[in-house]
Amino acid sequence: MSYLSNLVTRRNTIATELAALTSSLAGGKPNAGKAGIDHVGYKDGLYRELEFLNSEIDRLGGDGTDGGTTTFEIESVVE
């Protein structure tokens, strides 16, 4: 696999994980105090990594599936 292919694979994995977040999964819950898990930080980290990956993929010429443009819209729904 090429570097670009690896970036696209990782980007797609993160986008899928973000899309699947629910209030019962890590990243979808509120933070649990001082001794708890940083769910908000986990989700924020995924968004920052996704932004970096999209930037790198665009810098390298896109993933070849949409004319070199890589755009994702991710919507979080809190129930």
- 68 within 8 A of 54, measured Cβ to Cβ: no
Long-range contact set of residues 61-69: C-beta below 8 Å, sequence gap at least 24: 61/4, 63/4, 63/8
Among residues 15, 31, 25, which one has the least CA distance to residue 75? 15
The per-residue pLDDT for range 3-59, each reduced to its tens digit, is 888 999 999 999 998 888 887 766 667 777 666 777 788 888 999 999 999 999 998
Prediction pTM value: 0.67
Is the pLDDT at 78 greater than 80? The verdict is no
pLDDT score recorded for residue 56: 92
Dihedral sign, CA of 52, 58, 60, 63? positive
Distance CA 46, CA 64 (A): 23
Question: Where is pLDDT greater, at 48 or 70?
Answer: 48
